[in-house]
Amino acid sequence: MAPIPTETSSTVSAIASPDTKSSAPTSKDVDTSELDSTTPTSSNTKKRKRKDNAQEKQVHILHQSTFRKTAWSYFHLILLTPGTAAIPPATASTDSTTTSSLSPLLASSLLTHSLRSYLGITGTAIPIDMLKISGRSVWVRIPRQDARAFRASLSGWVGTCDGEDIPGVEGGMGVKVGVAWRVAGEGGVLGGITTGGDGMDLFG
């Protein structure tokens, strides 16, 4: 009769063990609860990203391009005389005492003389478009491939002109005055040589 109690105790322990396993919490239950708590924040961030992307798509650019080699070169030139050679470019171009401006014919003639003295007849074939003349300042446009030769011809040229034809120069009839060109600005776009940045101040 002694072995009977041992069998009953083993069966009781075998029955009790499944109950203890089922009552104990598992690691899987804890992980799923943590994931459920984090899902609302992740969905909110996704919504914010979608809103930001929608706002970026609203900006529509019609056309955008970069001109690496422009067809034209723009120059800001100042005509110098012996009395204005030592004046900085900003002061020489904005002289308050100058009320008149160079005539287009005189400016074109002086530019042609400088090109002819440096390049000969070939220099006279370079087309020059005058955009604006204000006082002694001249804004011109030339083809890009001729820009280097144009600058070189102006840097070493010194000529003469009637003093009465130059604004701000005091002299009688027939008085000759030495003149030279100073390059105050150069750029591939008109806005690069003006104060406004877009070139509109030249035609305002």
Over the stretch 87-103, which tens digit does the pLDDT of each residue have?
665 555 544 445 688 99
**Highest mean pLDDT, choosing among 13-17, 30-34, 40-44, 115-119:** 115-119
Strands (E) across the chain are located at 72-80, 129-134, 137-143, 158-162, 176-187
CATH for 152: 3.30.70.3250
Q: Is residue 189 part of a domain?
A: yes
Q: Which sign does the torsion angle of CA 114, 185, 162, 130 carry?
A: positive
Q: Model's pTM, two decimal places?
A: 0.60
Q: Is residue 180 part of a domain?
A: yes
Domain around 106: 73-202
Those residues with Cβ within 8 angstroms of residue 143's Cβ, 6 or more apart along the chain or in another chain: 71, 72, 73, 126, 127
Q: How many other CB atoms are found less than 10 A from the CB of residue 174?
A: 8
pLDDT the model gives residue 172? 59
Q: Is residue 182 part of a domain?
A: yes
Counted domains in the chain:
1
Q: Is residue 112 part of a domain?
A: yes
- Report the alpha-carbon distance of residue 138 to residue 130 in Å, rounded: 7
Mean pLDDT of 65-70: 75
pLDDT the model gives residue 41? 61
- Token pair for 35: 């994931």
According to DSSP, the residues that pair with 68 across neighbouring strands are: none
128 contacts 111 by C-beta, under 8 angstroms: yes
> What is the pairing mode between strands 72-80 and 176-187?
antiparallel
Residue 198 DSSP SS3: coil
Q: Is residue 48 part of a domain?
A: no
Q: Is residue 150 part of a domain?
A: yes
